[in-house]
A and B are shown apart, each in its own frame.
Chain A
Amino acid sequence: MEEKEKEKLSDIAKHVREIILTMIYEAQSGHPGGSLSVADIMTVLYFKQLQIDPKNPKWNERDRFVLSKGHACPAWYSCLQLRGFFDEKHIHTFRRMDSILQGHPDMNKTPGVDMTTGSLGMGAAAAVGMALEAKLEGSPRRVYTVVGDGELNEGVIWEVMQSSVKFKLDNFCMIVDRNGLQLDGPTNAVMPIHDLTQIIEGFGWYVQEIDGHSIQEIDKACSNAKQKKGIPSCIIANTVKGKGVSCMENQLKWHGRAPSTEEYNQAVREIRNGGCRCIH
Chain B
Amino acid sequence: MYTLEKAKEPTRKAFGIRLKEYGAIDSDFVVFEADIGASTSSILFGNEFPKRYFNMGIAELGMTDAAAGMAAGGRTVFVSSYGIFLSTRALEAIRTCICYPNLNVKFMGSHGGLTAAIDGVTHQATEDIANICTLPNMKMAVPCDTNSARKLFDLAIHTAGPFYVRLLRDAYYEIYDEGTEFSLGGSHVLREGKDITIGTYGDMVFQALAAAKRLAEQGIEAEVIDFYSIKPFDYARLVASIQKTGKLFVIENHQRRNGLGYEIADYLITNRYYILYKHIGLADTFAESGRYQEILGKYHLDGSAIEEEVKKMIDTCR
Contacts and interface: CB of A to CB of B under 8 A. Distances in A.
A156 B96 contact: no
A133 B71 CA distance: 9
Given A108-B102, A122-B93, A125-B62, A132 B70 contact: yes
B57 A156 contact: no
A129 B57 contact: no
Contact of A125 (B65, B77, B100, B102): B65
Contact of A159 (B54, B59, B70, B73): B59
Contact of A122 (B57, B59, B63, B97): B97
B57 A162 contact: yes
Given A107-B101, A159-B62, A163-B66, A119 B96 contact: yes
Nearest to B55: A166
B73 A122 contact: no
Interface residues of A, number: 31
A129 B69 contact: yes
Contacts of A116: 96-97, 100-101
B52 interface: yes
A162 B59 contact: yes
Nearest to B101: A116
B71 A129 contact: yes
Contacts of A127: 69
B68 interface: yes
Question: Chain A contact residues: over half helix, strand or loop, or mixed?
Answer: helix
B59 A163 contact: yes
A160 interface: yes
B101 A155 contact: no
B56 interface: yes
B254 to A, nearest CB: 27
B72 interface: yes
A121 B64 CA distance: 12
A159 B57 contact: yes
Contacts of B73: 58, 60, 130, 133
Interface string A100-130: 0000001110000011101101100111111
Closest 3 CB pairs of A and B: A129-B69, A159-B62, A125-B65
Interface of B: 30, 51-52, 54, 56-57, 59, 61-63, 65-73, 75, 77, 92-93, 96-97, 100-102
Given A115-B97, A129-B66, A129-B77, 19 more contacts: A107-B72, A114-B72, A116-B100, A116-B101, A118-B96, A119-B97, A125-B61, A125-B62, A126-B66, A126-B72, A128-B69, A132-B69, A156-B61, A159-B57, A160-B62, A162-B57, A162-B59, A163-B66, A167-B54
